[in-house]
């Protein structure tokens, strides 16, 4: 070392070393937060963690909506495949999310039964368990596609984000009904939740013996609190509100209970002034999730049109895609698995020539039901209907590549 070089104290060396270590940590954290990282082959990566998280470059989020924050929507445009990550599954609440201790939770089944019984969570888990993939959809999903004014700046999340698909784990309700001895005179049951709204719906007993379950798991783990932890009713293919969360009581009866939540709400006004009640089943529906707002196609060439189709009546048997506003239709490819009462991913290759185009999709289910145009749905239901909006959706691709919602703009 030259004689005139400044001397380095031990304190200075330690401070420099600490600073260098801090720079490395900061660099890793910066990369995790989406900042441009350096060459990953030159620096050891992050250590294992107790709970995984997404890359800092990925930021899918639910969109909270409603004046009281009573719902949040799934970012359909940011997802692929059919499963919805549990933390992105849509929410709909009527009085917030209750905090429930699973050790004190119980489910009472009584009424027209031979053996009224109270089940704890551990009791439920001793019964044969099943896991099934099913969609859940709020019956008010998609209203923006029905009414006359369709704002162009709406994403798939804003249009139909009250839709999600999960693997649900639980006990078939049929098993519990046989355990308590449901009487032959019982034709309906009341499902009651333990949230502050005390949500309650009347359900036909036949649904219990078809495919209903008391679910306590979702996507391989316990239900999330916003999805009904520790247990909820699951009615595959039926409107979301009837799938009562935080369930605490089931009462068997020979008639519906005509609760507040199925008379003042969740009843469909019709154009003749009447209303239909207990319209449980979600009709066949589809939605293109890409290209969609706010995407912008960078130039002419081949693109993949992709989206989701689903039906509460069973399997999707076909999806057709139109790129000329419904003038002509071609079959899309359905991606396996194609499951009953579950979303199905469809894909269609499209060569964009740079001209304005209107993209649409039309689903058909195994009953032969075909997703209708919005004019047909309005004619059948009338302009004042409030639920079950399953008409064909459209996206306009402008000549500059911008994609907007609606087919008439």
Sign of CA dihedral 16, 22, 24, 27: negative
> 365: which residues sit within 8 A by CB, 6+ positions away?
284, 311, 313, 314, 315, 316, 317
127-148 mean pLDDT: 94
The stretch 61-76 carries a mean pLDDT of 87
Torsion of CA 265, 384, 382, 137, to 10 degrees: -50
Q: What's residue 302's pLDDT?
A: 98
Element (H, E) at 98: none
pLDDT value of position 23? 40
DSSP 195: S
359/396 Cα distance (integer angstroms): 6
The Cα–Cα gap between 291 and 394 comes to: 11
Instruction: Return d(Cα 214, Cα 201) in angstroms, integer.
Output: 15
> What pLDDT does 1 receive?
41
The angle at the Cα of 385, spanning 274 to 381, to the nearest 5 degrees, equals 70
pLDDT tens per residue, range 78-108: 999 999 999 999 999 999 999 999 999 999 9
- Summarize pLDDT for 164-214 with one digit per residue, the tens: 999 999 999 999 999 999 999 999 999 999 999 999 999 999 999 999 999
Degrees, nearest 5: CA angle 394-399-405: 25
Burial 147-175 (b: 16+ CB within 10 A, else e): eeebeeebbbbbbbbbbbbbbbbbbbbbb
Domains of the chain (ranges, CATH numbers): 63-276 (3.90.420.10), 285-405 (2.60.40.650)
């Amino acid at each position: 070392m030259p004689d005139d070089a400044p001397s380095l104290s031990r304190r200075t060396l330690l401070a420099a070393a600490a600073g260098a270590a801090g720079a490395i940590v900061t660099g890793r954290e910066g990369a995790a937060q989406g900042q441009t990282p350096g060459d990953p082959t030159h620096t050891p990566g992050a250590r294992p963690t107790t709970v995984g998280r997404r890359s800092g470059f990925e930021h899918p989020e639910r969109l909270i909506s409603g004046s009281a924050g009573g719902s949040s929507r799934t970012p359909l445009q940011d997802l692929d495949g059919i499963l919805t990550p549990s933390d992105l599954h849509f929410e709909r609440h009527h009085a917030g999310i209750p905090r429930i201790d699973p050790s004190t939770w119980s489910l009472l089944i009584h009424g027209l039964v031979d053996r009224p019984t109270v089940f704890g969570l551990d009791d439920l888990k001793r019964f044969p368990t099943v896991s099934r993939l099913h969609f859940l959809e709020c019956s008010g999903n998609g209203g923006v596609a029905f009414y006359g004014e369709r704002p162009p700046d709406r994403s798939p999340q804003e249009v139909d984000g009250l839709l999600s698909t999960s693997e649900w784990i639980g006990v078939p309700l049929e098993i519990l009904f046989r355990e308590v001895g449901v009487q032959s005179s019982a034709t309906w049951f009341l499902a009651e939740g333990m949230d502050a709204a005390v949500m309650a719906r009347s359900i036909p007993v036949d649904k219990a013996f078809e495919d209903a379950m008391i679910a306590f798991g979702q996507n391989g783990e316990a239900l999330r609190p916003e999805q009904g932890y520790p247990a909820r009713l699951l009615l595959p293919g039926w409107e979301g509100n009837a799938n009562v969360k935080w369930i605490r009581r089931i009462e068997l009866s020979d008639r519906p209970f005509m609760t507040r939540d199925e008379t003042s709400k969740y009843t469909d006004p019709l154009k003749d002034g009447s209303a239909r009640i207990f319209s449980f089943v979600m009709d066949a529906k589809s939605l293109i999730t890409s290209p969609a707002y706010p995407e912008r196609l960078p130039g002419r060439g081949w693109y993949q049109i992709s989206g989701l189709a689903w039906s509460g009546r069973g399997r999707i048997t076909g999806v057709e895609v139109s790129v000329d506003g419904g003038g002509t239709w071609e079959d899309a490819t359905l991606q396996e698995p194609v499951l009953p009462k579950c979303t199905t991913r469809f894909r269609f290759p499209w060569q964009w020539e740079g001209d304005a185009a209107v993209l649409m999709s039309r689903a058909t289910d195994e009953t032969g039901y075909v997703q209708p145009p919005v004019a047909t749905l309005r004619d059948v239901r009338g302009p004042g209907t409030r639920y079950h909006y399953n008409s064909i959706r459209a996206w306009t691709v402008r000549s500059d590549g911008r994609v907007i919602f609606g087919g008439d703009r």
